[in-house]
Structure 1
Amino acid sequence: MAVPAAALTEVDVPGTTPLGAAAVDLAALGYTEREFYADGVANRYSGAETGALQAAQIIDGDRPYRTRVLVRTPQPEDFNGTLIVEWANVTIGQDGEFLFAEVYEHLLREGYAVAAVSAQRVGVEHLKRWSPERYGSLSVDVNACGTDGTSLCTGDPLSWDIMSQVSKALADNVGDVEPLPGLEVENVIAAGQSQSAARLTVYYNTIQPLYELFDGFVYEDAAGQLRSDQAVPAISVNSDAFAFGFPRTTSEYTRVWEVAGGTHASLYGSQYMDEVIVRDQSLLGPNGPISFTDWIEPSCVALPAFSTVDTGLVLNAAIESVREWILTGNPAAPSKLFDRDAAGVPVRDADGNALGGVRLAQLTAPTAFLTPRNGTAFPCSVSGQHRYYTDEELKSLYGTHDNYVKQVRSTMHEAQNDGYILKFDEKAAVEAAKASNVAR
């Protein structure tokens, strides 16, 4: 079946700004950021639910919505032909681009077009509260559910078509104002982290078979079982903190790469989210605006939170691998999993980090003590902790600076050679190690 494109209208409300605008100087990188209202009419589906491995069926249609999409585009001569569409994560009660936070440097360096779709009611309602002037006309409500005919439907039933129709509009790049000026989209990759990854798992299994809209998928944590009968490349990059039981099975077109020592958000991704949220003053605590880190820390046993393992490096490789798979048919590196016992529980070292999986130099040649778990209370339970080593500890660990650099080089070369990080990131890690003062 064909996917109808949403109607896009550029947002122009003087005196207001977009929530979640990029926390980086896009102009200096040759990028432009614009925001659009997206209007359409969505279906509801049966069978679009967790665990389903068959195509969904339409219940009814004619359900109008208006949401928004943030779009970042390079100059036409720098565009690599691929559009990444992230399903905004609403776990913190507002839209969050948690995958973009981990990989933005790579995406902007390599000429991707990038979009973030507000597909769920929680995010849309927060937008309306945050800026009624800019977002007051938005609505993804579904009425006439329940026996009284007035209660809202649950489970964001319009979100599947919102993701499809907005992505279709961006890929077609037509209308009164082109959302991607001068760009010709060759392929589209859907991406999401955590809750959004879980919803895109349902999408892959139940909605993608209906419309065959996306050319590939990239997940960060919480991707579930993917059906094995679709020739659509999909890679799930899973953190150590989210390693519960046996990993989901993989097939000819799907992969799972588990990152030892990684947390649900890395230290670097959390720092990016802090910049966005503090600037926007969009997340409120008991006494006023707070940061993303402030939201995490009350549930922590030990501070500071987050791992120094840069999961974004593995996500960079996943994105490039899916794109290469789409363009050439060359499959990604095989699944790389943790060592597990008979019960499916990851085998761990004395510091609580999983054995096996993708191993980066921040874990094998660390400059900080780190562990992926931090107590039992969410969200810090999956946010981990780190403590930077003193100069004396680093000297004791490595003896010489050259030995430290040698260990970094060895680990990163192996990861790159096996296909789990990019050559650019391998080289950057080695150069950073050389320039550091570790064990000097």
Structure 2
Amino acid sequence: MSRSPGNFGTSARAGLLGLAAALFASTAMAATPPTTAVAVPGKPALFLGAYDIGQLGYTVEEVFLSGTANAYKLAGPPTADGRWDAGPDASAPYATRLVVIRPTDPAKFNGTVVVEWLNVSAGADGAPDWNVMHRELVRNGYAYVGVSAQKVGIEGGPSQSIGQPLKTTDPARYAKLSHPGDAYAYDIFSQAGAQLRRVDGPLGALAPKRLIAVGESQSAVFLTTYVNAVDSLAKVYDGFMINSRFGPGAAIDGRSMMVAGDSLPKAVKLRPDLRVPTMTVVTETDLLSTRLPGFLAARQPDNERLRTWEITGAAHADNYFFKAGYIDSGKTPLATLAAAYAPIKDAPGGSLDKPMNPGQPHHYVLKAGLVGLDHWVQTGKPPAHAKPIEVAAGPPASFVTDANGIAKGGVRTPWVDVPTARVSGVGNSGGVLGFLAGVGEPYDAATLQRLYPGGEADYLKKFEASLDAAIKGGFILPADREEILGLAKISYGR
């Protein structure tokens, strides 16, 4: 199949961009497809898991994109309400890559492509949303595309770790890639989405009906700015899942938050006139200020195109993120999966002072959020409203907790309503990642006896009732019920 659509009218495009720059947001501008999209044989440099994706009925392929991207400028200072008027600024050539994961059998494709803005906080491309949601993606026939949108992932640059960018990881394979800087990342992401809609494009025989953009942590911060400033111009994506964001948005000019911090609002809401369905999913860690201002001040009510789920007992990073997700193929024995959720203090970057958050609330709720968002895009019926997590104003702000030390309010799951451990997104330290890892401190035997005087049978009965309530509420998928109950039975009292 052809993956080289050719030239797309450079002079006409330049004229349209000039007009859009003059009028800013008053003139809508569709994203221009990249000049070339070329499939590249061989294995992409992106860790997706320790399982064989081919055995799950999926194919992995890498596609190089190259063309000319635009930077953007705002008509005025960025405001806390998120209503940012932007227009094209300078342009520059680029060459980046997509990692395309699609059903090997086209008949199994459900019509939705999940497009992840790959995360570069570790100094290399990472796919945290693939990691946390892949079970649902392969179970229900989604296609997935990871986009190397930012410069750090390709060329290297400032990061929170010492990961290797693509051009260092495999200089021969990625020598042709070139990124002009994060000011151009927004348009690169738009052009990637536009390319996926092309007949015989990177998705091969698949004909996508819906594109859902997702991004976690730093990528969620960039997606916040994309939604506020660029989406109304590009009009590429049919929905957005902004996962585990903090308070600010990213700078439109591509400067890092550490450099541009003083010129950006410490908390930015999503613009009130959202174009398409948008979900914000937030953990406890994200709500309260850590090294970045927290999401608390960016809270806003749900509206006809916005749902916000704050997940009680969830952490920004956890056991599923670091361990269980990489072995969880959907065919992994329950005992092996339960062992991966067990409380540990070991984490990349050094030992933690307390056991880290196990990760079940974030993993299972996020999958339900994706399905709810996809259904919303298809039918116009939004997912359930969720109460915010209860916070005492302070200073400093803190969670209002119950007798078991667990926050009140938020998205409720059996791990917080029928707990065997104190789970939270805050309160840990140690190593490089302690402030992100949350806690999962098992209760002692006396506490378990107080909570479940009838022992394991008492616990499992209450756990099942709580699980069914969460499923009925739309916060956990019915397809995960049997697995969750099996894990609970194995893990009780460990």
Task: Please tell me the TM-score bracket, short chain as reference.
Answer: 0.7 to 0.9
Q: Is the 8 A contact 1:261 1:354 kept in 2?
A: yes
| Alpha-carbon shift at residue 204 of structure 1 (Å) | 0.6
Q: Which moved more, 1:323-332 or 1:22-31?
A: 22-31
User: Aligned in 2, Cα 1:362/1:86: closer, same or farther, shift over 3 Å?
Assistant: same
Counterpart-to-counterpart distance in 2, 1:372 and 1:44: 36
User: Aligned in 2, Cα 1:376/1:225: closer, same or farther, shift over 3 Å?
Assistant: farther
* Amino acid across the alignment from 1:160: Y
Counterpart-to-counterpart distance in 1, 2:44 and 2:189: 23
Partner of 1:236: 280
User: Aligned in 2, Cα 1:319/1:340: closer, same or farther, shift over 3 Å?
Assistant: same
User: Aligned in 2, Cα 1:367/1:308: closer, same or farther, shift over 3 Å?
Assistant: farther
Q: Is the 8 A contact 1:237 1:315 kept in 2?
A: yes
Partner of 1:288: none
Partner of 1:311: 362
Q: What is the DSSP-based 3-state SS (H/G/I as helix, E as strand, rest coil) of the residue aligned with 1:141?
A: coil
* Amino acid across the alignment from 2:115: V
State whether structure 2 residue 135 is matched by structure 1 residue 88: no
Q: Is the 8 A contact 2:74 2:87 kept in 1?
A: yes
Query: Which one of the candidate residues 111, 120, 129 is aligned to 2:141?
Result: 111
Q: How does 1:222-301 map to 2 (within 5 A)?
A: 222=245, 224-244=268-288, 245-246=296-297, 248-250=299-301, 251-271=303-323, 294-297=347-350, 300-301=352-353
Counterpart-to-counterpart distance in 2, 1:252 and 1:85: 23
Query: Which one of the candidate residues 124, 139, 156 is aligned to 2:178?
Result: 139
Partner of 1:409: 464
| Alpha-carbon shift at residue 409 of structure 1 (Å) | 1.3
Q: Is the 8 A contact 2:37 2:64 kept in 1?
A: yes
TM-score normalised according to structure 2 size? 0.75
Partner of 1:129: 168
Q: Is the 8 A contact 2:45 2:169 kept in 1?
A: no
Counterpart-to-counterpart distance in 2, 1:118 and 1:272: 25
Q: How does 1:40-55 map to 2 (within 5 A)?
A: 40-47=67-74, 51=80, 52-55=82-85
Partner of 1:373: 426
| Alpha-carbon shift at residue 196 of structure 1 (Å) | 0.4
Q: What is the DSSP-based 3-state SS (H/G/I as helix, E as strand, rest coil) of the residue aligned with 2:373?
A: helix
Q: How does 1:145-164 map to 2 (within 5 A)?
A: 156-164=182-190
Q: What is the DSSP-based 3-state SS (H/G/I as helix, E as strand, rest coil) of the residue aligned with 1:72?
A: strand
| Alpha-carbon shift at residue 84 of structure 1 (Å) | 0.3
Counterpart-to-counterpart distance in 2, 1:205 and 1:106: 28
State whether structure 2 residue 60 is matched by structure 1 residue 5: no
Percent identity among equivalent residues?
33
Partner of 1:356: 409
Q: What is the DSSP-based 3-state SS (H/G/I as helix, E as strand, rest coil) of the residue aligned with 2:350?
A: helix
Query: Which one of the candidate residues 197, 202, 206 is aligned to 2:220?
Result: 197
Counterpart-to-counterpart distance in 2, 1:360 and 1:404: 14
| Alpha-carbon shift at residue 180 of structure 1 (Å) | 1.6
| Alpha-carbon shift at residue 109 of structure 1 (Å) | 0.4
* Amino acid across the alignment from 2:377: I
| Alpha-carbon shift at residue 373 of structure 1 (Å) | 1.8
Counterpart-to-counterpart distance in 2, 1:396 and 1:352: 14
Q: Which moved more, 1:345-354 or 1:180-189?
A: 345-354
Q: Is the 8 A contact 1:307 1:371 kept in 2?
A: no
Task: Report how many residues are paired.
Answer: 403
Counterpart-to-counterpart distance in 2, 1:198 and 1:327: 26
State whether structure 2 residue 214 is matched by structure 1 residue 187: no
User: Aligned in 2, Cα 1:397/1:53: closer, same or farther, shift over 3 Å?
Assistant: same
User: Aligned in 2, Cα 1:310/1:341: closer, same or farther, shift over 3 Å?
Assistant: closer
Partner of 2:131: 101
The runs of 5 or more residues in structure 1 that have no matched partner are 143-155, 277-291
Q: What is the DSSP-based 3-state SS (H/G/I as helix, E as strand, rest coil) of the residue aligned with 1:366?
A: coil
User: Aligned in 2, Cα 1:336/1:266: closer, same or farther, shift over 3 Å?
Assistant: farther
Q: What is the DSSP-based 3-state SS (H/G/I as helix, E as strand, rest coil) of the residue aligned with 2:122?
A: coil
| Alpha-carbon shift at residue 265 of structure 1 (Å) | 1.9
| Alpha-carbon shift at residue 73 of structure 1 (Å) | 0.2
Query: Which one of the candidate residues 417, 432, 438 is aligned to 1:384?
Result: 438
* Amino acid across the alignment from 2:138: L
* Amino acid across the alignment from 2:210: N
Counterpart-to-counterpart distance in 2, 1:231 and 1:209: 7
TM-score normalised according to structure 1 size? 0.84
Q: What is the DSSP-based 3-state SS (H/G/I as helix, E as strand, rest coil) of the residue aligned with 1:39?
A: strand
Query: Which one of the candidate residues 22, 35, 55 is aligned to 2:62?
Result: 35
| Alpha-carbon shift at residue 428 of structure 1 (Å) | 3.1
State whether structure 2 residue 53 is matched by structure 1 residue 26: yes
Counterpart-to-counterpart distance in 1, 2:368 and 2:132: 12
Q: What is the DSSP-based 3-state SS (H/G/I as helix, E as strand, rest coil) of the residue aligned with 1:133?
A: helix
Counterpart-to-counterpart distance in 2, 1:371 and 1:34: 38
Q: Is the 8 A contact 2:356 2:428 kept in 1?
A: no
| Alpha-carbon shift at residue 50 of structure 1 (Å) | 8.0
Partner of 2:400: 347
What per-residue deviation string (whole Å, max 9, x for no partner) do you get for residues 7-27 of structure 1? 2111236xx652324433211
User: Aligned in 2, Cα 1:79/1:293: closer, same or farther, shift over 3 Å?
Assistant: farther
What per-residue deviation string (whole Å, max 9, x for no partner) do you get for residues 88-133 of structure 1? 1111111111111111111110110001111111111211111111
Counterpart-to-counterpart distance in 1, 2:41 and 2:48: 15
Q: Which moved more, 1:28-37 or 1:369-378?
A: 369-378
Q: What is the DSSP-based 3-state SS (H/G/I as helix, E as strand, rest coil) of the residue aligned with 1:36?
A: strand
Counterpart-to-counterpart distance in 1, 2:379 and 2:423: 39
Q: Is the 8 A contact 1:307 1:372 kept in 2?
A: no
* Amino acid across the alignment from 1:422: L
* Amino acid across the alignment from 1:255: R
Q: What is the DSSP-based 3-state SS (H/G/I as helix, E as strand, rest coil) of the residue aligned with 2:375?
A: helix
Q: Is the 8 A contact 1:374 1:382 kept in 2?
A: no
Q: Is the 8 A contact 1:243 1:346 kept in 2?
A: no
What per-residue deviation string (whole Å, max 9, x for no partner) do you get for residues 153-172 of structure 1? xxx11100111111111222
User: Aligned in 2, Cα 1:353/1:366: closer, same or farther, shift over 3 Å?
Assistant: closer
* Amino acid across the alignment from 1:5: P
